[in-house]
A and B are shown apart, each in its own frame.
Chain A
Amino acid sequence: MARNKEKLVLLLDVGPSMHSVLPEVEKVCSMLVEKKLIFRKNDEVGVVVFGTEETNNDLTKEVGGYDHIVVLEDIKVVDGDLIDTLQKLPRGTVDGDFLDAIVVGMDMLIKKYKDIHKGKKRLCLITNAVHPIKDSLEGTKEDQVETIAAQMTAQGMKMESVVVRGRLSQDANKRIMDENDRLLSIFSKQTLTRTVYVDSPTSLLGALKTRRITPVTVFRGDLELSPDMKIKVWVYKRTQEEKFPTLKKYSEKAPQTNKFATHQVKVDYEYKTVDGASKVVPPEQRIKGYRYGPQVVPISAAEWDAVKFKPEKGVKLLGFTDASNIMRHYYMKDVYLFIAEPGNTRAILSVSAIARAMKEMNKVAILRCVWRQGQQNVVLGVLTPNISQNDKLPDSFYFNVLPFIEDVREYQFPSFNSFPVSWQPNEQQQKAADELVQMLNLAPSGKEEALLPDYTPNPVLERFYRHLELKSKQPDAAVPPLDGTLKRITEPDPELFFENKSVIDALRKHFELKENPKLKKSARRLLREKPSGSNDEDGDADVSDAQAVNSIEKALVVKIEKIGDLTPVQDFEVILSRRDSPEWVGKAIKEMRDKILGLLSDSHEGDNHLIAVECIAALRKGCILEQVSPSPSLCFCATVSAFATAKWPVIAFS
């Protein structure tokens, strides 16, 4: 780990024009240090702020100048105090000079590490770069920047600049901004500097990588175009999901006084026989069984080895095909990046030539990949060109995994054109939808794209780390709600929706939605329950509703064993649905029959007849449901009909 120790100096602009975004700067910087505390405890960080009233740095003491720059924290191994410092950055009073700040930061790194740790030293600048830097005494500003950039490269330093612009710096001077952008671009060209422009607090949170993961290759070897045409490539992951951290289990068993208690929990698995004895079976006596329908087929490791698919390691081209043959939604997994072997000019040129030709011809390549020797599966995927926009970076390919035939379910869906006219949008409706799709634009030209995945942080992780920091100070702190900046990710931007109010109102006016009146309430509840695993998403109201229903049902099940006079139909259904003994069905039907006959014979001028009809309907339904042989019901029907024709001839049987 030590060799990867990063040495970082944060250069933060705290001048007056930055005040509005400083809360986000504080959050993103403390998050950066917090993650280092968890994942990279040995990294070292220093903090410099510029645009302050005061001045406090080595250079000003040694050579003078470098005003309004304060070294808040010298470079040191990360600790909790650093977070406390970053959480309350001072609010400056003067417009800062970012170039001076860069020099101060470089000076700190040089003094501390001399010229060792090449490539591990980093500067991170967050500014809006809307104020002019001081003129230099000798030469132009450009000359000055180039000298500094050359020094930076010589020292093996990298820089990351996050420039906050757009909505966040509206009334800045265009000429000065352009000059500053030009100066910053010199850094990008001449040094390993990543410059990112952001125009919303949300993308500020995402623009700075708060956790650095050292990339590892998935594969190094030949990309075989044919048996005798090969290109040396390295394959990396381009995306990989950053999961919610796996938290360890905590045991509270150890006495509080025990200072050395680890509070760890060991998870133990025992394989036991299912018979009464529950004997533990030792590992060597266990064998894996594979399901084939309800049966389980035992296959020992040796047998398994014999049938196991053992492909050779290698990445082979199957062929090229039109890009339109591969639908975007076939992409199955996270994405890989294929680069030519570093330093191998011929490989870099071949990748570049093929990538550019593919781009021109609108083609993609289909590959068959086995990344490692001994890997048991083959990956089929599509290679797409990635033409580099940066002169320093070579051309490369993206690789996406495609499905095999077993992975595709060929469901059929009706064509929209086949729907009745009432379901089709009319001309006005289509126009309203067109307007919405055009106007609710997240990527307007000339502006930064909103919610760009590359700069959009995971709100759940943000929340977790913030809560972790909070809880370390107040153990009983409640989970903080999502703040406004993170809500821009989960909810529509009120500003954008307000700007397009007329378009949205038009859409509302043209389309009418209503609850389906045909759907019975009970059915609706049923429908909501159907999708598996959706319960967790239902609102609280639904849950309590369902619980209420359940408890009522339970109560009924417990009590009712006879069909009463008040609610004979319901009683009948409850008894019928009892499953604790097979007798209930017969009993329910018999009781219901008696009840109906009773109702009919006791009726006075047909006053019970309506109830009796309901009972008969329920009885019929019950018999169908239980598939009880219809014959007893049939002769019963005859009895009832006799009654009915005698007393109330309106009832007819179907």
Chain B
Amino acid sequence: MDLDPEDVFKDEEDGSDNEFFQQSASSKEYVVYLVDASPKMFNTTCPGKDQKDETHFHLAVSCIAESLKTQIISRSYDEVAICFFNTREKKNLQDLNGVFVFNVAEREHLDRPTARLIKEFDCLQESFMREIGSQYGIVPGSRENSLYNALWVAQALLRKGSIKTADKRILLLTNEDDPFGGLLGAAKADMTRTSLQRAKDAQDLGISIELLPLSCPDEEFNVKVFYADLLGLDGEDLVQFMPSAGQKLEDMKDQLRKRMFTRRIIRRITFDITNGLSIQLNTYALIRPAVPGAITWLDSVTNLPLKIERSLICEDTGALIQEPPKRFQPYRNENVKFSMDEISEMKGISTGCLRLLGFKPLSCLKDYHNLRPSTFVYPSDQEVVGSTCIFIALYRSMLRLKRFAVAFYGSSSHPQLVALVAQDEVAKAGVQIEPPGINMIYLPYSDDIRDVEEIFPDTDDDAPRADEDQIQKAAALIKRIDMRDFSVSQFANPETLCSTAGSSSRRR
């Protein structure tokens, strides 16, 4: 029972808003971080600020730590496991060599992150060599294959839960692009084949394997040598896996951190361009207000959670009402009743797809044409081949002609007119800042726009206007207080910082 009292008292019909802003528990994600702990991860460093070099292993571990901290606040229903391979010690249910599953007390191997996990993982760097140790698991002459073992363990960890309700991912962090490079002939072929088969088995079970490659300063991580086959990458996917060589630590961290996020699709929608030409799009919520953690009511004596029971009581008779009641609106001296079916029928004015209505110049999109955070749209050829091609063509036309598309988005909770604004890709130092795609901006209806005439007070005279001299003075002022490099997301929200710092410090 995670009912927030404010939420409880809201009308049920407002529930649709929550779906818009919050992630539902049913779309969980299970992630296994599979971290290469081979000596190469410790020997390779990348140059950081102030001549402080960091090893690749350190980089990987600190990025995971950072992402765990974000996750426990924003996506705490997701479950994680952390697993090292190429280790001296072994710890795993299958008792396979060279694989170590890191865990803390009061926690299953694959489980929601806890404060304790984060705390102990933070200290892991110091104790790693002593307790876990680094050691190549693939050695010529032996039959051991630590990568195979690691995939086997990760897959076993992900046995939990149904693929229908959870996304299962293995995130593989390594700087070795050729794990069987030291082997020769039949042994190499055999190990390659079995490892690929193992990966394929995992993928057949709906587990996605993602590679987060770390490039060494002198040579670029070559995905094609081995991992392209393991991941099943085709030509087009290959490109985005290519990290640029010789990156600075900060950039590498940034890139790793960004790649650890899944691009969680909120919805797959159909975009009707004209009759008979419908393409497939995925929508993503790139900008949503981060809501402070949900409140759980506790009994202050026992600290146990309470359950909230709602009962509907008839005010006339005092009887309990079991079945969902009808709704009514007082009108013309009587109560006009509506069944819930009728209400949803009234709201359901469209089929749920996005329908193109036409195009307008960008200048028609005014600053006050806004209601809610926008949604990002990116094409997909997964179900309808050819979607991406049309999308790119329209996207490029809109960018070039400085126009946006007007469409009707018939979602069941908020059927609405939307502006589809093409966004060109923006990248800085190899890190993408604005992804290429289309932003869907929800337009208000006339009912939602307040009359300016109502706001301004009645006057008989014309309003005063600044003259040229005054405008020039203002211009001088603007030049003085100019923030040249301002970008959104430079500012952290002081409110959430306050509350999360409060709760995590108490816990630890």
Contacts and interface: CB of A to CB of B under 8 A. Distances in A.
B369 interface: yes
A358 B482 CA distance: 12
A377 B495 contact: yes
A627 B446 contact: no
Interface stretch (B54-62, B135-143, B471-479): B471-479
Interface in B478-508: 478, 481-484, 486-504, 506-507
Contact of A293 (B115, B314, B406): B115
A38 B156 CA distance: 61
Interface stretch (A55-63, A511-519, A559-567, A634-642): A511-519
B240 interface: yes
Contacts of B299: 273, 281, 285-287
B128 interface: no
A250 B287 contact: no
B319 A253 contact: yes
A456 B401 contact: no
Interface stretch (B39-47, B81-89, B215-223, B354-362): B354-362
A423 B392 contact: yes
A653 interface: no
B224 interface: no
Contacts of A243: 14
B385 A425 contact: no
Given A34-B331, A329-B421, A414-B236, 15 more contacts: A242-B445, A252-B326, A253-B316, A261-B316, A295-B507, A339-B455, A339-B456, A380-B491, A403-B489, A404-B290, A437-B401, A441-B359, A451-B357, A458-B446, A458-B447
A247 B311 contact: no
A292 B504 contact: yes
A385 B381 CA distance: 42
Contacts of B456: 339, 342, 392-394
A271 B308 contact: yes
B51 interface: no
Given A245-B329, A335-B367, A513-B387, A411 B372 contact: no
A64 B415 CA distance: 53
A252 B491 CA distance: 53
A30 interface: no
Given A453-B417, A531-B267, A329 B381 contact: no
B466 A356 contact: yes
Contacts of B360: 441-443, 449
A434 B408 contact: no
A508 B477 contact: no
A356 B342 contact: no
A422 B336 CA distance: 58
Contacts of B123: none
Given A411-B263, A472-B336, A425 B297 contact: no
B441 A329 contact: yes
B451 interface: yes
B248 interface: no
B363 to A, nearest CB: 9
Given A405-B491, A433-B394, A441-B359, A490 B349 contact: yes
Given A281-B299, A294-B111, A266 B445 contact: no
A492 B384 contact: no
A366 interface: yes
Interface string B61-75: 000000000001110
A461 interface: yes
Nearest to A524: B383
B126 interface: no
Given A393-B463, A409-B285, A450-B358, A319 B483 contact: yes
Nearest to A445: B361
B357 A265 contact: no
Contacts of B465: 349, 352, 394-395
Of B159, B382, B393, most buried by chain A (CB within 10 Å of CB) is B393
Contacts of B14: 243, 246
A294 B111 CA distance: 9
6 contacts: A265-B321, A271-B306, A440-B359, A449-B364, A471-B338, A530-B265
B432 A433 contact: no
B125 interface: no
Contact of B288 (A158, A407, A456): A407
Closest 10 CB pairs of A and B: A537-B352, A247-B327, A353-B466, A329-B439, A433-B393, A425-B393, A206-B446, A394-B463, A413-B435, A442-B358
B365 interface: yes
Contact of B477 (A225, A325, A335): A225
Interface stretch (A138-146, A296-304, A603-611): A296-304
Given A253-B317, A453-B369, A353 B385 contact: no
Contacts of A512: 386
B90 interface: no
B76 A293 contact: yes
A544 interface: no
Interface string A392-417: 11110010101111111111111110
Given A294-B76, A331-B374, A394-B464, A451 B417 contact: yes
B316 A38 contact: no
A601 interface: no
B410 A286 contact: no
Given A366-B483, A413-B378, A251 B478 contact: no
Interface stretch (A16-24, A102-110, A231-239, A588-596): A231-239
A411 B265 CA distance: 11
Contacts of A288: 295-298
B432 A532 contact: no
B130 interface: no
A37 B349 contact: no
B423 to A, nearest CB: 7
Interface stretch (A88-96, A179-187, A306-314): A306-314
A112 interface: no
A533 interface: yes
Nearest to A470: B336
A32 interface: no
A410 B253 CA distance: 13
Given A286-B306, A394-B456, A537-B352, A297 B503 contact: yes
